Every structure is written in C-alpha cells, then in structure tokens.
A and B are shown apart, each in its own frame.
Chain A
Amino acid sequence: DQQVKQNSPSLSVQEGRISILNCDYTNSMFDYFLWYKKYPAEGPTFLISISSIKDKNEDGRFTVFLNKSAKHLSLHIVPSQPGDSAVYFCAASAYYNQGGKLIFGQGTELSVKP
C-alpha cells in the first residue's frame, strides 16, 4: 500500500530552466509534507516543508505547492543548477494521528545538464 507516490523515477532539465517534481498521496490524514534531497552514500538532506493548512511555501529557489483536493504536491526549483542533481524524496506525516513517522515516496532522480 504505497501511500506516497512519485511516479517519475527520473527527470532531466537544462541548467537555468525550471525543475518540477511531483508527488501524490492517498492518506487524507497527512498534515505535513517535506522534500528531502539525497546524494549517493549520504543521508537525506531537508529542503523544504509545508503544512496542510497552506498551499504554498517558498525558500529561495525552492517552492512547494500543495493541492489538498487533488492530494498532490510539487517542488519547483528555479533556476535549476548542476549542483541540484540528486534524488529527491517527497515525505508525508500524520503528526496528530500517527506520531512523527515519515512515509516516503520512491524518489525522483533529477539530472541538471549544463
């Protein structure tokens, strides 16, 4: 039962353009969503998060959009840089019902070409 899904295993984008990574979820109890970036042989690094009471959160080049009715969130990176090349994981939590455990998507490997 995959509660969080990232349907695109990979994405290739030209440097300077926008990268859009997508994530869908099925559990309506999720109330907090996060994006992590992961390089090989390292732990996930926190990027940005959004509470279910908001529909947008922005931090520098990174913006996360949440569409609760569609149970969909997306991460926009503008402009994309070669150093952004990594695997991006979407994660969700139902803090007030299931404690703080994170449910992860399968990841999307982003490649930003110079």
Chain B
Amino acid sequence: GEEVAQTPKHLVRGEGQKAKLYCAPIKGHSYVFWYQQVLKNEFKFLISFQNENVFDETGMPKERFSAKCLPNSPCSLEIQATKLEDSAVYFCASSQTETETQYFGPGTRLLVL
C-alpha cells in the first residue's frame, strides 16, 4: 500500500499476558524499523529488518521481546509476559533502503494493566 499500516490501534493486556503487534510496510520498501515511545516525547529504536532478515537488533530488550518479518505477511513484534513498563506507543516505519527516509505508521498504543 501507499502507507505503513499498523494493527491493532489499541491493545490492552494484563501483566504477564502476551502482546502481538503487526506492521505492513509501504509496498516496495525493503526496510522495516520498530520504535517505542514510552513517555510522551521519547522514541527508542528497537529493531530493524531488511526484508525478512534482522538488520539491526541493538535496541531490542534481551528478554520477552521478539520480532519477525516473513515473506508475504505483515511484520510482527511480540512481547511475552508483558510488564507495566511495556506500556507505550509502538511505531513501525519503512524505507526503500537503509539510507532513505523512513515513513511511519500510526502506531499501536499498548496499555499493560
């Protein structure tokens, strides 16, 4: 499509439950990036993919977080055993190459209670 699509828009989970977020990049874009916005104005890089391969995972928490980009499927970000501090807005962005402008989706707002 012409825009980055993210689903769901909102997600509420009890502490300890699993959360799975989805991202469909712009058609023709080979790179997908995930960012976490915890406080109102702080973005943190999590992970990036080049097609289905992990490109950079230096921002991913070592435990509980995993991500995939499989052929012909939306990319996903999964959080096992969510914690209160995982409450944030998770943004996905895509770009044609790693040096091109990143275009962002509308985000998924995760609330862990």
Contact = CB atoms under 8 A, between A and B. Distances in A.
Given A99-B48, A102-B33, A102-B45, A44 B98 contact: no
A34 B31 CA distance: 17
Contacts of A100: 31, 33, 48, 55-56, 95, 97-99, 102
A99 B55 contact: yes
B42 A104 contact: yes
A24 B10 CA distance: 34
Contact of A101 (B56, B105, B107): B56
Interface string B23-43: 000000001010100001111
B100 to A, nearest CB: 8
Given A43-B91, A43-B107, A103 B98 contact: no
A36 to B, nearest CB: 8
Which of under 10, 10 to 19, 20 to 34, or 35 or more describes the interface residues of A? 20 to 34
Interface residues of B, number: 28
Contacts of B104: 36, 43-46
Contacts of B91: 43-44
Given A34-B101, A43-B106, A45-B104, A101 B42 contact: no
A27 to B, nearest CB: 14
Contacts of A98: 56
A32 interface: yes
Interface in B49-106: 55-56, 58-59, 91, 93, 95, 97-99, 101-106
A95 B55 CA distance: 12
A42 B48 contact: no
B4 interface: yes
A106 interface: yes
Nearest to B97: A100
Contacts of A91: 43
Given A43-B105, A100-B48, A101-B56, A95 B41 contact: no
A104 B43 contact: yes
Given A43-B106, A95-B98, 5 more contacts: A43-B6, A43-B107, A45-B104, A100-B99, A100-B102
22 contacts: A34-B102, A36-B104, A42-B107, A43-B6, A43-B105, A44-B91, A44-B104, A46-B103, A46-B104, A89-B41, A98-B56, A99-B55, A99-B98, A100-B33, A100-B97, A100-B98, A100-B99, A100-B102, A101-B56, A102-B35, A102-B102, A103-B45
